[in-house]
Amino acid sequence: MNKAEAHIRIEELNRILHYHNHLYYQKDTSEISDLEFDTLLNELIALEKAYPDLIQPDSATQRVGGTVTKEFASVTHKYPMLSLSNTYSESEIAEFDERVVKSIGQRTDYVCEMKFDGVAISITYKNGILAQAVTRGDGVRGDDVTNNIKTIKSIPLKIQGKDVPEEFEVRGEVYLPYEMFERINKEREDVGEALLANPRNAASGTVKMQDSSIVAKRGLDCFIYSFLKDGETPETHSAALQQLKNWGFQVSDSYKICKSVEEIWSYINHWGEARFKLPLATDGVVIKVNNLLLQSELGMTAKSPRWAIAYKFKAEEAFTPILSVEYQVGRTGAVTPVANLAPVHLAGTTVKRATLHNANEIERLDLHEGDTVFVEKGGEIIPKITRVDLSKRKAGSKRIEFIHACPVCSTPLIRIEGEAAWYCPNDIGCAPQITGKIEHFIQRKAMNIDGIGTETIELLYQKKLISNVADLYTLTYDQLIQLDRFGEKSVNNVLAGIEESKKTPFKNVLFAIGIRYVGATVAEKLAMHFKNINNLKTASQQALLEAPEIGIKIAESVVTWFSNPKHTELIDKLAAAGVKLELSENEIITIDSDLFLGKSFVISGVFEKYDRDELKEIIIKNGGKINSGITGKLDYLVAGENMGPAKLEKAQKLGIKIISEAEFEKLLNG
Ligand code: IVH
């Protein structure tokens, strides 16, 4: 396909993909299967890769991300992003209504909306196309996070509809649904990373991530709640919301027109309970004057509009006595204290347990046996203990001291410098660590072994049939058939699942063996870079740091893991069992041209069109070589934005050809 043909096909693919995206995300229906959709999308990705200058700003590929931004550009808001004044009481809502009525000299309607708990975003559309998305920042200037926002599927890249103004802004709240939040924290727990405190923090951290392809995987979503434009606008806020909905924006159906303080109050009371059934965190209700002319008549104070107010729900709190504190040992050996509570009703559920996080937290609370504690469930899903009701403390009750020995295997606990957690170091003898590691190994994202669950693993361990992940591969029919509840069919199922797992790609195996900080994404990067376990095992910390996106924390963790002879023994056993410990041929990049044969490249800085991995892949695919450092023998330094001045200076001194992204493209296109 030549460039002109590619151009036509790219436009056609975008039309088709936008149409199906619109059906799927805005109309909740679909006309093609996921596979058909992905096939079209992949065709578009391939064409854009071949002809990067044909990428359109509203391309459907923007949804999968790929750009890396080191520093977000600061942008001045066309209309400042104000905040709302808060209230916690019915009487203050009545006062707000009185102020409004007095100021405009008439009664008026309000729109009540849920106050979504995420991060505010302002998005500008020009000629129907998403042009720029900016965070609130200080209200006057914010960060340009367009590439990250484009990955949110419910935000249209291109408006489908009638009477779309040439230029307008929408504002809304970017949020992380509870389900996604829990998934991310599960993944973080899996690799021993600190957990994110609540969905709001997780959303704001995600919006500011440098790599938009990671943002795309996180599952952010957005509710739009305002429409701004110069000149003529709809008469009311509710009409504007309807208009936005018609244009394909996601507007929450929870809004309601209220004609009196009583109606507002009943809206608040209804959602005060009903909000716990929503899939996202909310922290209040926003009350807005519906008529937009009246809104501008009311104007604003220095900080917030006079036409709106936020009623904030009180953080749901309950108090209840602690029955006991127990200690859980995780896969990594980290010991987490958990409080068992007298059951208490809180935020739509009955709470019986609350995490105490670590020893510091027990100390901070100065917890004593039998204390009555306040439990809170704010944006958090796992309830937490906020404070102790000292008036209820029984005289002479004993302080709760964090344990010094493992509750399971009695090994003295250790603390790793700089970490809050205490660990049981007995990783090969402590039951929950062993079964936890095996559970991690078999999960879907790892070796995906069907037919085995938590209970089976515990049973196999108790019967001394397995004590590490490699032992799974030595299990026999005769051993399994003797177990309770195991019939011929289930035994064959388990054995088939184990056999099948030998085909699992190397990157999954690397994730499955459970090196701390090596999550699924990092495992993939390491697999692609080092190609087999031997290269990885023998890699120095420096060599690891040179791999794409590997930082010091991961590099150290990998080196430490392989320096343990028990781990290398385990790898040997997995190898003997036939588990894949190298990339298969189709995973290794194939060379399609010798354009760069004999030429070496160093890539440094941040690029507009490609991320660094893509550039590396293009170079390798065309026969070139990637060097790690700048030496006299280097042919090209591909220099992006923000590259280190020392590197640049060294290359200049050595007379190396320094080329920009555009010059690299020219080179590529001959
Ligand atoms: S309207 C003049 N509507 O609350 C401000 N804000 O404290 C207009 N928020 O920064 C904002 N849900 O991030 C509005 N339905 C909603 C909202 C909402 C959440 C957030 C928003 C804003 C903050 C104001």
Taking only the tens place, the pLDDT of each residue in 523-553 is 988 998 899 999 999 999 999 998 877 889 9
Where the chain has pLDDT below 50, the residues are none
Measured CA to CA, the distance from residue 98 to residue 78 in angstroms comes to 31
Q: How far is the CA of 446 from the centre of ligand 1 (A)?
A: 41
Backbone angles phi, psi at 244, to 5 degrees: -60, -40
Instruction: State the distance between the two ends of the chain, measured CA to CA, in whole angstroms.
Output: 17
Contact 56, 10 (CB under 8 A): yes
Q: List, in order of start, the domains of the chain with CATH numbers.
A: 3-64 (1.10.287.610), 76-84+108-267+274-308 (3.30.470.30), 431-503 (1.10.150.20), 506-587 (1.10.150.20), 600-668 (3.40.50.10190)
What lies within 8 Å, CB to CB, of 632 at 6+ separation is 654
Summarised one tens digit per residue, pLDDT across range 350-367 is 899 998 989 999 999 999
Angle of CA points 222, 225, 230, to nearest 5° = 120
pLDDT value at residue 25: 72
What are the residue numbers of the active site?
A: 115
Contact 160, 22 (CB under 8 A): yes
Query: Is 173 near ligand 1, meaning CB less than 6 Å away?
Result: yes
pLDDT value at residue 383: 84
Q: 158 to each of 21, 131, 154, how far by Cα in Å? A: 10, 10, 11
Give SS3 for 569. helix
Give SS3 for 217. helix
pLDDT value at residue 645: 80
Name which of 409, 368, 249, 309 is nearest 83 in CA terms: 309
Measured CA to CA, the distance from residue 26 to residue 246 in angstroms comes to 9
Query: Is 116 near ligand 1, meaning CB less than 6 Å away?
Result: yes
pLDDT value at residue 190: 76
pLDDT value at residue 566: 93
Give the position, in ligand 1's atom list, of the atom nearest the Cα of 115: 12
Tell me, rounded to whole angstroms, the distance of Cα 106 from its chain centroid. 47
pLDDT value at residue 495: 95
pLDDT value at residue 317: 85
Q: In the block, which residue shows the tokens 């107010």?
A: 309
Query: Is 225 near ligand 1, meaning CB less than 6 Å away?
Result: yes
Q: Are strands 636-639 and 657-659 parallel, antiparallel or unpaired?
A: parallel
Residue nearest to atom 3 of ligand 1 (CA): 225
For 586-625, the three-class secondary structure string (H helix, E strand, C coil) is HHCCCCCCCCCCCCEEEEECECCCCCHHHHHHHHHHCCCE
pLDDT value at residue 197: 77
Give the position, in ligand 1's atom list, of the atom nearest the Cα of 114: 15
